[in-house]
Structure 1
């Protein structure tokens, strides 16, 4: 099967990891092309999907014709069996080509990495939702033309010795006592992630002096969060890191305070590392922790989150059943979804 994936972003976050891992797996048995912007590095963090792509994936970057022009050339001449778009910018452009007849009868599939917008996906033939809330929000005309295929996590390849080295190195760099209980969170420092609420809850929880909080990530709110009155003792801003998800091995617990989380890949990755977790009951976290409601707290509720932090402090390492979140199984479901439209 010849598959064209289209992604128009300049950062490396959950969606970009999803595309890198899916294309790498598909390229084992299919002819896979990935269309990217001419520049894909995040100006703030340097994160770049280019560093995570498999050699077997043919990468095409937008040139003087622009992203839409390159997409048109690929679709017109590439004889692809499926065009698969990710996020709004690429999806709008592919839809325009579909409406103009340039894509012919080639099935156009989109993955919803965020909320559904008719302007982005109105011309698509099929939609893949990564969480149940997305499917529930679809207009009735999508009945029979969508499927829920969640994100996945790839088990860490670190052994016990490597985990111990990473843990000690991280703690030494940030001057955290070796016997401390360290809770971490990870994400872009933007309003909807509610790291401001987390810092309020951290203060209100009144956790013991041997408990530390580490925020991993960067973004426009970082300066305000660091310099504001909410940044209390035993709070570390570790900045953007390139070793996720392996870095979770350095911690004792994980908290996800977002007011809205389309899926929550970092939550899944923290669970794969064996961490106890606390997450807000919003978006994909409801799917992931549906059988573990004690790990969920109400979104945008500082009191609920502070209680969740106290509960998290009492937890120890856990073994989660993540058998439903394997890449091979989700890639197989994606291929089966393609075949419905061929």
Structure 2
């Protein structure tokens, strides 16, 4: 096969399950109006035409491995990626999560920008050894300063400028354009059009700590508007346990478990306030989606979420249902002028820190972009 001559960026992703398909779009958008074409390769997942449309790349390839097939040494994945790289003029690679970084490190000689979306990726001894071995051509990004600092602590001998932050972001105007109105969203979700609704979106999993959210709602209920409800979008192994807790707390009739909602971000205007109670959230894309919908935010003061919400919402200590309850009551009493001020502050921060345009400028000014001579 003849090698292409146009300069390309290899974007190598583990898979396209949520939220990583949008992460692929985010990074592909960094190369709009540049000399580079973007080839996005998904390690797992079957070919999917909708994925091709959504990831905003010039070329999309599916390696079609299952999770079981990429355990161990991943030799076939390494061979397949070598063939892809041999036929195209790639200048560097952006690899999301550790397995793609590992495979790209063994299959190519390209400079690699490794993007990390979680804590603890270099806690393991073997991963530290690999990173140190590949150090001359590997630079790392955390999706928040909290993730960045976690990596820096694990790789303490690395120069700080080789481990930087690049925030997750959204195409703000596109997300806003797809929002349903409050009335439309409530109709679609079968919610009371007159209720005051606290919304939450996330897996029903210990990391998301909806148990604290339920306890806080029960504590706050006497001081909230009479028709207050808590609506939780998501599914997970704690569903029955959380329903039992709501019953035990005496709020089962006012807590709505909506299950998995496709394109959940379209429905955020159904909420009067958005509450995130997670433990060590690496970033919190749902916070950006709430900001785009102009929904006031209450969030646990943890991980990267703090960086998103600081100065535009209310933060509470993780697991503290009493302060979370107080925050709900405060939010329920905001005047129209206060709500407008909250909306204005969120929009300023959203566009200045978490939009495609603002992050693009940050990306091209990263110190290691000069090191790579990109």
State the TM-score, normalizing by the size of structure 1.
Answer: 0.84
Secondary structure at 2:89's aligned position in 1? coil
CA contact (8 A) 2:114 2:139 kept: yes
Moved more, 215-224 or 194-203: 215-224
1:4-63 alpha-carbon deviations (Å, 9 max, x no partner): 1111136212x432222321452553210111134269xxxx9x8556223x43111115
- Aligned residue in 2 for 1:314: 333
- Aligned residue in 1 for 2:206: 191
User: Following TM superposition, by how much is the alpha carbon of 1:158 offset from its aligned partner in structure 2, in angstroms?
Assistant: 7.7
Change (3 A) 1:69 1:314: farther
- Aligned residue in 2 for 1:133: 146
CA–CA distance in structure 1, aligned partners of residues 232 and 205 of structure 2: 13
CA–CA distance in structure 1, aligned partners of residues 121 and 287 of structure 2: 25
Answering whether residue 317 of structure 2 is matched by residue 304 of structure 1, we say no
CA–CA distance in structure 2, aligned partners of residues 196 and 140 of structure 1: 40
Moved more, 57-66 or 79-88: 57-66
Structure 1, unmatched stretches of 5+, are none
User: Following TM superposition, by how much is the alpha carbon of 1:145 offset from its aligned partner in structure 2, in angstroms?
Assistant: 1.0
1:109 aligns with one of 89, 113, 128: 113
CA–CA distance in structure 2, aligned partners of residues 193 and 289 of structure 1: 17
CA–CA distance in structure 2, aligned partners of residues 281 and 263 of structure 1: 12
Q: Greater Rg, structure 1 or structure 2?
A: 2
CA–CA distance in structure 1, aligned partners of residues 330 and 263 of structure 2: 28
User: Following TM superposition, by how much is the alpha carbon of 1:157 offset from its aligned partner in structure 2, in angstroms?
Assistant: 4.8
- State how 1:141-290 maps to structure 2 within 5 Å: 141-157=158-174, 166-206=181-221, 207-228=224-245, 229=247, 232-290=252-310
User: Following TM superposition, by how much is the alpha carbon of 1:78 offset from its aligned partner in structure 2, in angstroms?
Assistant: 2.8
Aligned Cα root-mean-square deviation (Å)? 2.9
Secondary structure at 2:275's aligned position in 1? strand
Answering whether residue 362 of structure 2 is matched by residue 329 of structure 1, we say no
Q: Please state which structure has a larger fraction of its residues in helix.
A: 2
Higher relative contact order (CA 8 A, sep 6+): 1
Secondary structure at 1:271's aligned position in 2? helix
Change (3 A) 1:262 1:132: same
User: Following TM superposition, by how much is the alpha carbon of 1:280 offset from its aligned partner in structure 2, in angstroms?
Assistant: 0.4
CA–CA distance in structure 2, aligned partners of residues 53 and 111 of structure 1: 16
User: Following TM superposition, by how much is the alpha carbon of 1:238 offset from its aligned partner in structure 2, in angstroms?
Assistant: 1.9
User: Following TM superposition, by how much is the alpha carbon of 1:156 offset from its aligned partner in structure 2, in angstroms?
Assistant: 4.3
State the TM-score, normalizing by the size of structure 2.
Answer: 0.77
